[in-house]
Amino acid sequence: MASFLWTLCLGFLFLASGTMSAAPRKPVDVPFGRNYVPTWAFDHINYLNGGTEIQLKLDKYTGTGFQSKGSYLFGHFSMNIKMVPGDSAGTVTAFYLSSQNSEHDEIDFEFLGTRTGQPYILQTNVYTGGKGDREQRIYLWFDPTKDYHTYSVLWNTFLIVYFVDDVPIRVFKNSKDLGVRYPFNQPMKIYSSLWNADDWATRGGLEKTDWSKAPFVASYKGFHIDGCEESVNARFCKTQGKRWWDQKEFQDLDAQQYDKLRWVRQKYTIYNYCTDRARFPTMAPECKRDQDI
């Protein structure tokens, strides 16, 4: 029953209780052009299967990327991605939400390339009011270059949850009561890009991009957006409190989801800013809630 709710509402195997008919099923084979447009190096994007699948290409001249047509204030956003195979050291495949000004809010997935045979690293980060430095890094428990996997964000007024397939890998809770800014009044666009970052991406920049392996290709499909679309100048979504992601079932994880999150923490987490006393002698206020997980 618990798994059924999250499948119905989000299209993934989330775990909750009861049912909620108001939330739609995840769309199947949504064309890229329905919700997204290229942003740069248009000739480095290949369109497949009638535009329901695309490939981003990185070579020594340029990478490429795309963004959503609309800006959104809360919702559920996902992408099915197959990462760059083989020797991908120095490359970064990014999927993130970001607002449009200097004191921006941002919700990041960054997949850091690797030498052949080494595991990919997934880095997540949260910016609020222009402040970031909230990195967490994990190894994935599968090879993300072999098949498509679903990477998604649930964002409401209570929390931000990062999911890999059906597994919550990170929760960032609204901690305004602790003096921490939270993304609640700046609509965000959704972005993705493939680019060269060999000054930092792999082993802190020690491993450089091998351009003899280019072009590097990341593949995408399942361009799912279920959010409250607003202009970039909007302060509050007109449907705030009326959409499924604001309902009680989605204001926190349940016990089984927390078990999955703890499993990721114990087995696959390799860096958490909340425990980095060398970099942050004083623990960030929101980490008090992170430690309770």
Active site (catalytic) residues: 106, 110
51-60 confidence digits (pLDDT tens): 999 999 999 9
> Which residue, 71, 236, 81, is CA-closest to 150?
81
User: Looking at the predicted structure, is the pLDDT value of residue 131 above 60?
Assistant: yes
Q: What is the mean pLDDT of residues 88-117?
A: 95
222-232 confidence digits (pLDDT tens): 999 999 998 77
Q: What is the mean pLDDT of residues 101-125?
A: 95
User: Looking at the predicted structure, is the pLDDT value of residue 195 above 90?
Assistant: yes
Extents of the domains making up the chain: 25-290
* Of 2-11, 97-106, 202-211, minimum mean pLDDT range: 2-11
98-109 confidence digits (pLDDT tens): 998 889 999 999
Q: Record the tokens describing residue 46, joined without a space.
A: 């290949």
Q: Tell me what pLDDT residue 83 has.
A: 98
Domain spanning 25-290: which CATH class is it, in words? mainly beta
Q: Tell me what pLDDT residue 101 has.
A: 86
Query: Which secondary-structure segment (H or E) carries 71?
Result: strand 71-82
Q: Tell me what pLDDT residue 289 has.
A: 87
Model-wide pTM > 0.85: yes
